[in-house]
Amino acid sequence: MNKKPSVSVLVPAYNEASLIRETVNELVSYLKTLDLDSFEVIICVNGSTDSTEEVSKQLSEEFREVKYFSIKNRGFGLALTEGIKRASKEVITFVPGDGEINPEFIGNSLALMNEYDFVSGSRYIDNKSVGSSRLRRLLSFAFAVFFRTLFGFNLTEVGTVKMFKTRWARGVVDKLTEKNYAWQIQTTYHALSSGLKVTEIPVKTRVKRDSSQSKVKIISDGLSLFLTCLKYGIMLNFHKTFKR
């Protein structure tokens, strides 16, 4: 990617009517500061029951770079899989609709895309996890250790933002079947089993809503992620064994 890159930024949004405008405004402003060939922001509305879709439609009318679509079913993974199918640029990344992730991740990742194929963000490098509860940090640490043991790859966090090349993503999109946050584990599995060059960089987070309003169910979602990690870790080890 020696020429100017083009990037599609997917924004999964479930009931984010109060924050989606701020998130998209910030994204567009930030992306315009980068030396890009072009960019697009695709709002991936999924299962929303508030006015997220209406606000997204307004944003698509205000900014030529902003698009949106809406699917009936709720699901972080469902939204991103559909977003990949609609992305038209060379590189794909995503940020949550609540704007929790500082968009500087995009520029920092793009700078590495000549050397790597897949960049994963981590809130736990350089202690960038602002606003996370002690329990969430503890579970994230335990999950990272579990992941490294099973996958044999040193990542400090799996469940946050990523960047990858569109051509690769189009080749695996039909295999991305996880509907919720486990999608991030499944995508990482496919990156490693495809032999991509993977790296990890720090991301900064900001508190955008009170922790009581978080859509992440720490215990139930955490258990689901551990089970999913076990599943794909076993699959990756089988893949490595039969590839030899």
Dihedrals phi, psi of 54, to nearest 5 degrees:
-65, -45
Residue 164 lies in a domain: yes
Residue 23 lies in a domain: yes
Q: What's the pLDDT score for residue 125?
A: 82
Structure tokens belonging to residue 116: 């790597």
Query: Do residues 37 and 48 make contact, with C-beta atoms less than 8 angstroms apart?
Result: no
Task: Chunk the chain into consecutive blocks of 10 residues (it has 244) and report each block's average pLDDT, rounded to whole numbers.
Answer: 88 97 98 98 98 98 98 97 98 96 97 97 73 68 86 88 98 96 94 96 82 57 85 88 63
Residue 48 lies in a domain: yes
Reported as half-sphere exposure (CB side, CA atoms, 13 A), residue 122 has a value of 19
> How would you label 181-216 residue by residue, b for 16+ Cβ within 10 Å and e otherwise?
bbbbbbbbbbbbbeebebebbbbbbeebeeeeeeee
User: By residue range, what is the domain housing residue 147?
Assistant: 6-243
CATH code of the domain covering residue 11 = 3.90.550.10
Residue 153 lies in a domain: yes
Residue 148 lies in a domain: yes
Q: What's the pLDDT score for residue 8?
A: 98
Q: What's the pLDDT score for residue 12?
A: 98
Q: What's the pLDDT score for residue 243?
A: 64
Residue 1 lies in a domain: no
The domain tally of the chain equals 1
Residue 171 lies in a domain: yes
Residue 172 lies in a domain: yes
Measure the CA–CA gap between 102 and 88, rounded to whole angstroms. 23
Q: What's the pLDDT score for residue 217?
A: 61
